[in-house]
Amino acid sequence: MSQPSRTITIEQLNTFIADAGLHSSHLLHILHAIQQRFLHISHEAVNEVASHLGLPISQVESVVEFYSFFYNTPRGRYNILLSNCTSCGYKSGGENLLRMLCHRLRAVAGKTRGDGLVSIDETSCIGMCDHGASLLVNGMPITRLDADKIARIADLVETETPLADWPADWLRVDDNIRVITGDLTAASGKPSRMASSSTSGLLLNNDFVAGGGLHAMLARGIEGTLAEITQSALRGRGGAGFSTGMKWKFCREAQGDAHYVVCNADEGEPGTFKDRVLLHSHADAVFEGMTVCAAVIGAKQGFLYLRGEYRYLLPHLQTVLARRREQGLLGNSILGQQAFNFDIEIVVGAGAYICGEESALIESLEGRRGVPRNRPPFPVTHGYLDQPTVVNNVETFVAAAHIALCGSAWFKSVGTEKSTGSKILSVSGDCAAPGIYEYPFGVSIQQVLNDCGAKSVQAVQIGGPSGALINPAKFNRKLGFEDLPTGGSFMVFGQGRDLLTIIVNFAHFFAHESCGFCTPCRVGTTLLKNSLDKIAGGHGTQYDLDEMKRIGELIKRRSHCGLGQTAANPILDSLQRFPQIFEQRLAHGNFEPYFNLDGALEEARQVTHRDDAAAHLE
């Protein structure tokens, strides 16, 4: 591989784009290749890509500016992105590792160092929440960060040691699948930690042999398989919970030139990492679920949309796809069936939480900014290229593959009436055994807390920042569509945590990830962020709390998509359930302006070299 470089001639650029295009002509992939090779995507590169792909220059430009992992100014040869999630973020261990790394490398966060060696910045949750503080260096995850490892990373960067020569175990990502041992756990109060290779639960326990689901489907017939999926009452595992059988049926019935299957592997909700584990250790079941869906709806093409943060999983997934083609489980005449042709392409995102919204994901698949579409029409009738499309979560496809194999009765043997089957949880935060837990739906929060060894719990965030913040009085609430729906994120906050800091973190997350399409979310998330910063800084008053509540409710009700509709949840929940975390920070009086008059005099003080009492207002 050639050394990354920031200098480019147009000829080099054209040759490079043509080569990259041979590999994959998807706009996101070509832009990624350019970013890797030239460390940024220059204005010239935008023009050349547009002309190469026959796209408007403005479309390419808008995509470069939309996704977090594309840059229009050069990044360092080591581009380091530290997660800012409350579970795998650079502050999650109590120390500020970002500041530490910047200090050691004499770099400023967000800026490329003068010699072009390194750039350091923060990024939204990278899905390593069961591994403690984590970062991405040139796209590769390094987990379990502490002060010592930060120092060693700084040395390796300073000596320009190739990433391949970094300690191999740093790049290891474990599955951390935890076994639940039931009564024993509850009685002893100890976490049930077992070897990561052990499994638990309905889906994770079930030995799935590649092709098993497809053979069962062929034996049962397509109609019969759809009936099994419908009767299983499987609901979408991304959190929204739409009936999978209905979705497939609507799509099957929709008229179109072609039908498409899309697997949503854009697992961006902070605190969620179950799809990472499913893609790593259960990829066959994921692809098999997609293939069953393809047979049901009549699709020949499928896509797995993988979040950019999980790009390191790409070689593994490509290997599994290649093996499945060799096994006759993908490609033409699957399992010898003449008319059963289906294949799967992986499209890798580039850092945008909003692309987890299904219509934004489709926009991204089509090579545009990830802006959610107006609905109706829904993707089942007008999805990818305006054709009927099923978009399901990774876990949903895994469940569907198992239902095709074992039938609906097996699946319904666990769970509750309206939430059949199991839910795979990503447990992180202040507990002894963070990791992957699979439970029948209907499990209580307290049960999960017992099993993961969480003590002195102040609050639990169910479903990530867009979900619900639960106080201890409500730990008897149950996970399921009847009570607390969840995409799987389960973040534990112990008594030692400052909840306000967490709420501030979530507000910054939403303001950063808002796509900017609709006014309430675009402006409102920034207003909420500013208000919280003001309160956390000790300048807030009751007026600011009232305003946050008013704006929060407006954003929730008037926004275009799920992002805006849920962005205020952490603030509204905590205002209701933890009012003291705000009140104890309020300034006296009813009103305090945003404008800090004394702060504005700082420049004058510096110029005059004064810092005595008379140079301050207070």
- Of 474-493, binders to other proteins (CB under 8 A) are 485
- Of 374-413, binders to other proteins (CB under 8 A) are 374, 376
Cβ-defined contacts of 204-210 (< 8 Å, 24+): 204/177, 204/282, 204/424, 204/436, 204/438, 205/438, 206/402, 206/406, 208/282, 208/284, 208/285, 208/288, 208/401, 208/402, 208/405, 210/284, 210/288, 210/323, 210/324, 210/327, 210/329
State which of residues 566, 574, 581, 582 lies at the interface with other proteins (CB under 8 A). Answer: 566
Backbone phi, psi, residue 597, to 5° = -65, -45
Binding of residue 525 to other proteins (CB under 8 A): yes
Minimum distance, C-beta of residue 341 to other proteins, in the bound complex (Å)? 30
Minimum distance, C-beta of residue 48 to other proteins, in the bound complex (Å)? 10
Alpha helix (H) residue ranges in 159-200: 183-188
State which of residues 21, 241, 331, 494 lies at the interface with other proteins (CB under 8 A). Answer: 241
What is the spatial distance between Cα 41 and Cα 56, in angstroms, rounded to a whole number? 16
Minimum distance, C-beta of residue 538 to other proteins, in the bound complex (Å)? 17
Residue positions counted in the chain: 618
Task: Give the 3-state DSSP-derived string for 515-528, with helices as H, strands as E and coil as C.
Answer: CCCCHHHHHHHHHH
State which of residues 237, 259, 311, 560 lies at the interface with other proteins (CB under 8 A). Answer: 560
Minimum distance, C-beta of residue 569 to other proteins, in the bound complex (Å)? 6
State which of residues 255, 595, 607, 617 lies at the interface with other proteins (CB under 8 A). Answer: 595
What is the spatial distance between Cα 601 and Cα 598, in angstroms, rounded to a whole number? 5
Torsion sign across C-alpha atoms 519, 520, 521, 522? positive
Count residues binding other proteins (CB under 8 A): 60
Q: Which range, of 74-82, 156-164, 277-285, 507-515, touches other proteins by CB under 8 A?
A: 507-515
Contact 134, 88 (CB under 8 A): yes
Q: Which range, of 328-336, 431-439, 445-453, 517-525, touches other proteins by CB under 8 A?
A: 517-525
Binding of residue 515 to other proteins (CB under 8 A): yes
Backbone phi, psi, residue 612, to 5° = -80, 170
Taking alpha carbons only, the member of 399, 599, 545, 576 closest to residue 470 is 576
Binding of residue 565 to other proteins (CB under 8 A): yes
Residue owning tokens 């799920």: 562
Q: Distance between the two ends of the chain, CA-based, in angstroms?
A: 60
DSSP 614: G
Q: Which range, of 288-296, 310-318, 489-497, 515-523, touches other proteins by CB under 8 A?
A: 515-523
Q: Rounded to 5, what percent of the chain is helix, strand, coil?
A: 45, 15, 40
Q: Which range, of 149-157, 451-459, 495-503, 564-572, touches other proteins by CB under 8 A?
A: 564-572
- Of 58-117, binders to other proteins (CB under 8 A) are 58-59, 61-62, 64-66
With respect to other proteins, which residue has the nearer C-beta, 51 or 161?
A: 51
Q: Which range, of 289-297, 307-315, 519-527, 536-544, touches other proteins by CB under 8 A?
A: 519-527
Minimum distance, C-beta of residue 459 to other proteins, in the bound complex (Å)? 15
State which of residues 173, 329, 503, 572 lies at the interface with other proteins (CB under 8 A). Answer: 572
Minimum distance, C-beta of residue 477 to other proteins, in the bound complex (Å)? 9
Binding of residue 526 to other proteins (CB under 8 A): yes
What is the spatial distance between Cα 65 and Cα 40, in angstroms, rounded to a whole number? 11
State which of residues 350, 527, 545, 581 lies at the interface with other proteins (CB under 8 A). Answer: 527
With respect to other proteins, which residue has the nearer C-beta, 66 or 342?
A: 66
Q: Which range, of 74-82, 102-110, 491-499, 562-570, touches other proteins by CB under 8 A?
A: 562-570
Binding of residue 558 to other proteins (CB under 8 A): yes
Q: How far is CA 38 from CA 7, 12, 34, 45, in A?
A: 7, 11, 6, 10
Contact 397, 304 (CB under 8 A): no
Taking alpha carbons only, the member of 496, 489, 494 closest to residue 569 is 489
State which of residues 14, 36, 471, 530 lies at the interface with other proteins (CB under 8 A). Answer: 530
Q: Which amino acid is at 170?
A: W
- Of 425-484, binders to other proteins (CB under 8 A) are 466-468
Binding of residue 513 to other proteins (CB under 8 A): yes
Minimum distance, C-beta of residue 121 to other proteins, in the bound complex (Å)? 15
Alpha helix (H) residue ranges in 207-313: 212-220, 222-231, 244-253, 274-281, 283-297
Applying CB under 8 A, which residues contact other proteins? 43, 47, 56-59, 61-62, 64-66, 236, 239-243, 352, 354, 369, 374, 376, 466-468, 485, 511-520, 522-527, 530, 550-551, 554, 556-560, 562, 565-566, 569, 572-573, 576, 594-595
